[in-house]
Amino acid sequence: MAVELSDHDFEELMKSLTTYLTFDGTCREAMTFYAKCLGGDLLMMAASEAPGKPMPGAENKIMHARISKGGAVVLMASDSMHGTVQAGYNFSINIDCESEAEIDSLFAAFGEGGKVTVPLADAFWGARFGMLIDQFGIQWMFNFEKPKA
């Protein structure tokens, strides 16, 4: 039996769902092209700009890219830091959560029968973050931006 949610119910579940693309060294070029097509604002961070030392050979790769339009994030991406990317399997769906309780609950629910690839933990950008592949082979990312102190 399917449960139907009203728009109001959906708004209370999470902030947003955003597609997250993974590239094999072409993130900068691809996201520049997509920003031109979408007419949005592009923000990119190279691996060399992130805290810590990047993996050898990854210094010029893009750690995170984001296209925003009208204040809303419309697309996110990065280069793979851990090897090659297989076309067709180079995307995730990012869920931006409203609370720590919500991220814990959604992560557990989506992970049922699946495989955790990055356990939920505090990330250097001030969020609680984790990744998993669900029982149907779909890659998910979960992010909760912690309130600034």
- DSSP assignment letter at 110: H
The answer to whether position 25 is within a domain reads yes
Residue 136 CB partners (closer than 8 Å, separation 6+)? none
With 60 as the cut, is the pLDDT of residue 36 above it? yes
With 70 as the cut, is the pLDDT of residue 148 above it? yes
What would the pLDDT profile of 91-130 be if each residue is shown by its tens digit?
899 999 999 999 999 999 999 999 999 999 999 888 999 9
The answer to whether position 41 is within a domain reads yes
User: Does residue 14 or residue 91 have the better pLDDT?
Assistant: 91
**How is residue 51 written in tokens?**
């805290």
The answer to whether position 10 is within a domain reads no
With 90 as the cut, is the pLDDT of residue 144 above it? yes
What would the pLDDT profile of 69-82 be if each residue is shown by its tens digit?
988 899 999 998 87
User: Does residue 89 or residue 29 have the better pLDDT?
Assistant: 29
> Model's pTM, two decimal places?
0.72
The answer to whether position 2 is within a domain reads no
Tell me, what CATH number does 22's domain have?
A: 3.10.180.10
- Going by C-alpha positions, the residue among 110, 48, 35, 109 that lies closest to residue 79 is 48
The answer to whether position 7 is within a domain reads no
Q: Which domain holds residue 134?
A: 15-50+58-145
End-to-end CA distance of the chain: 43
Please list the alpha-helical segments (H only) found in the chain: 7-13, 27-38, 100-111
- Check: CB of residue 11 under 8 Å from CB of residue 132: no
Instruction: Write down the mean pLDDT value for the chain.
Output: 85
List the single range of 2-6, 60-64, 94-98, 110-114 with lowest mean pLDDT: 2-6
Say how many domains are in the chain: 1
Average pLDDT in the 78-91 region?
82
The answer to whether position 133 is within a domain reads yes
